[in-house]
Amino acid sequence: MRTQSPDTTEQASLAQAQLAAIVDASDDAIISQTLTGAIVSWNSGAERIYGYPSDAMVGRSISVLVPPGMPDVMPEVLHRMQQGERLERYDTIHATRDGVFIDVSITVSPVRDPSGKVIGAATIARNVTQRQAVARALHETQEKYRTIFENAREGIFYVTSDGQTVAANPALVRLLGYDSVEEFMSDPGHLLGSWMTNHSHELWSRLEGGQGVHDFEMEGHRRDGTKIWVSATMVAVQDAAGSPVTYQGTVLDITGQKGSEASLRRETDEAGRANRAKTEFLSRMSHELRTPLTAILGFGQLLQMGRLNPVQQTESVDNILKAGRHLLRLINESVDIAGIEEGRMAFSLEPVRIGDVVQDAMDLIGPAAEQRGIEINVFPAHADCYLTADRQRLVQVFLNLLSNAVKYNSEHGSITLSCGESKDRGNLTVLVADTGPGIAPELRDRIFMPFERLGAERSGVEGTGLGLALSLQLVQAMGGTIALESEMGTGSTFSVTLPIVDGPVAQLGEISGCGPAPDDAGSAYPPCTVLYIEDNLANLEVMELVLAYRPGVKLISAMQGRLGFDLAKEHQPDLVLLDMRLADISGRQVLARLQSDPTTVDIPVVILSAEAMPGDVDSLLKAGARAYLTKPFQMEVILELMEELLGGPS
Ligand code: ADP
């Protein structure tokens, strides 16, 4: 038998005392048990954790710590330990003396006798309730963030510093046009990295500088190549050493917002341009009005002083009249332009025979052309073609073009008026060509602008600079276009293009689908006289055709208002058909005259007009008209009305 020296015994008891002290000082419960589970020792750590004193627990089974209803694994653990199995740590729940459930982490180790035989077990139970609570809270938080990540409206992503995507949420992949996160992540060409590269310089320098980026707007492409604008917010996620490892960010699709910003900018630009144009127009206009007014006031004052000789007086009066006429033209044309721009000018659009329009304009320009020795050649092809236009306004356009062709032509030059069907089928182009000096290419853009005289103001040729601006507005308002071609030294050609329509006679046929006019003989209509006051020949022709269906009617016509009134007085017709737009006075004025004259007041008047302005009908009926019919004519309506006003067959 081996004996221990006193030194060795001392050392052994010291080691034992130290071990006992460590066991006692431990925060963990250190419990020794027999192989049947009976507790042999219970340290103060166990007392603190479970609340039971040592003497209450020694001799009892450790199983008393297992809450009721929960499985007790200790017997199984002890059994396996005896089989020599190496035991892992396991987590379970124990109940304290106060009935509180605590999370414990258990480690069971075999206790052996000097021969190595397992004679008992040492169990260490660590109270991990707090740690578990933290882990649970962490898990819950992670779940919460995962829900946000999955359901956020913003795209959320993590990328490495070289642009590789580590994670992307569904909103991000949808935004970039992918069907699923998997599809996005498995596409090597997905676009986050390339976006970053495109905008890399500013983005990376800000990120690497340690600042996050906020609302950084960048443009990229979706999977299908369409453009997308996003607003990105990104921060660097750093490792323990403080160097950025990934970048975490959110992106919001702002393509729509960018679009509306752009259109708002466009609208503001347009409004600004329109405002500037208006201001420029007004300042030019006031300048243009001041010039003739200065002349009027100047010559007027000279006359007032009474020191002018008779010749000077005549000259002054001539100058005043000339300036006055110029002023009137300026005002009329400006008012017309403003009227068209604001949609106040009424257009009476009807089929207009181009031959008549050209003839009217030629009649008016003839004397001025003759005065300058300028010859006008007209090629009458297409003269019978009908265009949709307001006749008077179209005459005004051609008068402007012809007047310019006379004014800016060379002495004894010539003007050629011709027509051709335009390239766009269904349109007719009328060309006014002169043999003047031509218009320099750099001036052509400005020629249709109000008050632009392109230097003509220094040439002594009279003008307002409004004629072409007004012509352009008029033609456009009638649905047409106006263009210029010019060759320096050869001449200029202005062309007006308008839609072709069927003539009124053809239209009447289409509308009514009537058979041939009845024969005069055998009809029992009372004979009557109808006066038609209308300046459009084509309409007169149509009326003649219509009235052929009512035998016994004698049709007389007048193309001017004053003449119409005189004819009414003279012939005492049974009915007056009255157009609203006449060359001298308006149809409304003719009606007023007819109504105020006792010899004509009882003659029924029917208004025929292409322009049915709201309020017109009522006011004309109040002014004495019996009926108001709009063009194009409807034959049955006219015939019915005549029957009502003049009586039917007897
Ligand atoms: P106005 O004749 O009253 O000055 P317009 O608006 O009719 O005004 O024409 C604007 C300017 O265009 C004219 O002042 C003139 O310089 C130029 N212009 C117009 N028509 C012709 C033309 N047929 N040949 C040369 N220059 C022309």
Give per-residue pLDDT as tens, 273-326: 878 877 777 777 777 888 788 888 888 888 888 888 999 899 889 888 988 888
For 168, left (φ over 0), alpha (ψ -120 to 50), or beta? beta
Task: Return the C-alpha torsion angle 442, 443, 448, 452, nearest 10.
Answer: 140
- Give residue 1's pLDDT: 44
- State the average pLDDT over residues 487-513: 79
- CB-based contacts of 417: which residues, under 8 Å, 6+ apart? 358, 362, 376, 377, 378, 379, 402, 430, 431, 432, 433
- The listed range with the strongest mean pLDDT (183-192, 446-455, 481-490, 545-554) is 481-490
CB atoms inside a 10 Å sphere around CB 289: 15
Same domain, 284 and 387: yes
Q: Are residues 68 and 89 in the same domain?
A: yes
* 205-219, 426-440, 450-464, 529-543: segment of lowest average pLDDT: 205-219
Is 466 close to ligand 1, i.e. is its CB under 6 Å away? yes
Is residue 249 very low, low, confident or very high in pLDDT (cuts 50, 70, 90)?
Answer: confident
How high is the pLDDT of residue 520? 52
Question: Domain span at residue 75?
Answer: 17-131
Same domain, 209 and 157: yes
Q: Which of 202-216, 262-276, 480-494 has the lowest mean pLDDT?
A: 202-216
Verify that 581 and 436 share a domain, yes or no. no
What CATH number is associated with residue 113?
3.30.450.20
The predicted structure's pLDDT at residue 522: 47
Residue 252 CA, ligand 1 centroid: distance in Å: 56
Which residue, of 501, 525, 555, is where some domain finishes? 501
Check which CATH number belongs to the domain holding 423 and give it.
3.30.565.10
Say whether both 477 and 622 belong to one domain.
no
In-domain check, residue 262: no
- Grade residue 177 by pLDDT with cuts at 50, 70 and 90: confident
249 in the same domain as 186: yes
Assess if residue 345 is contained within a domain.
Answer: yes
247 in the same domain as 227: yes
**Residue whose CA lies nearest to ligand 1 atom number 14:** 453
**What percent of the chain is predicted at pLDDT more than 90?**
32
Token pair 């005459």 in the structure block, residue? 395
Which atom of ligand 1 lies at the shortest distance from residue 468's CA? 6
Q: Which residues contact 74 (CB under 8 A, 6 or more apart)?
A: 37, 62, 63, 66, 108
Cβ atoms 456, 464 nearer than 8 A? no
Position 200 scores a pLDDT of: 62
Task: Kindly state whether residue 93 falls inside one of the protein's structural domains.
Answer: yes
Residues 293, 408: one domain?
yes
**Cis amide linkage into residue 292, ω under 30° from 0:** no
How far does CA 98 lie from the centroid of its chain?
74
CA 462 – ligand 1 centroid, Å: 10
- CB atoms < 10 A from the CB of 426, how many? 9
On whether both 429 and 515 belong to a single domain, the answer is: no
Task: Report CA(218)–ligand 1 centroid distance (Å).
Answer: 51
Is 261 inside a domain boundary?
A: no
Segment 223-248 shows an average pLDDT of 79
How many other C-beta atoms lie within 10 A of the C-beta of residue 390?
Answer: 22
* Residue 507 confidence class, pLDDT cut points 50, 70, 90: low
- Counting from 1 in the atom list of ligand 1, the atom nearest the Cα of 400 is 7
Find out whether the beta carbon of 422 lies less than 6 Å from any atom of ligand 1: no
- Of 70, 100, 131, the position where a domain reaches its end is 131
Q: How far is the CA of 468 from the centre of ligand 1 (A)?
A: 7
Number of domains in the chain: 4
- Our CA angle for 196, 200, 202, nearest 5°, is 130
* Average of per-residue pLDDT across 110-139: 88
Task: Note whether residue 514 is domain-resident.
Answer: yes
Both 116 and 160 in a single domain? no
Q: How far is the CA of 286 from the centre of ligand 1 (A)?
A: 20
The CATH number of the domain holding residue 567 is 3.40.50.2300
Q: Give pLDDT tens digits for 55-72.
A: 999 999 988 999 988 888
- Which of 479, 501, 523 corresponds to the end of one domain? 501
Ligand 1 centre distance from Cα of residue 253 (Å): 53
**Could you tell which of 330, 404, 447 is best to mutate to test the pocket of ligand 1, judged by most ligand atoms within 8 Å of the CB?**
404
Assigned domain for 191 exists = yes
Give domain status of residue 268, yes or no: no
The answer as to whether 241 is a domain residue is yes
Rounded (10°) CA dihedral 369, 374, 379, 385: -20
Looking at ligand 1, which residue's alpha carbon is closest to its atom 21? Answer: 404
Residue-wise pLDDT for 577-623, tens only, equals 999 888 788 899 999 999 999 999 999 999 988 765 667 888 899 99
Give 387 Cα–ligand 1 centroid separation in angstroms: 26
* Domain co-membership, 117 together with 217: no
Residues 30 and 114 in one domain: yes
The mean pLDDT value for 618-647 works out to 86
- Look up tokens 């949709």; give the residue: 388
Residue nearest to atom 15 of ligand 1 (CA): 453
Model pLDDT, residue 197: 55
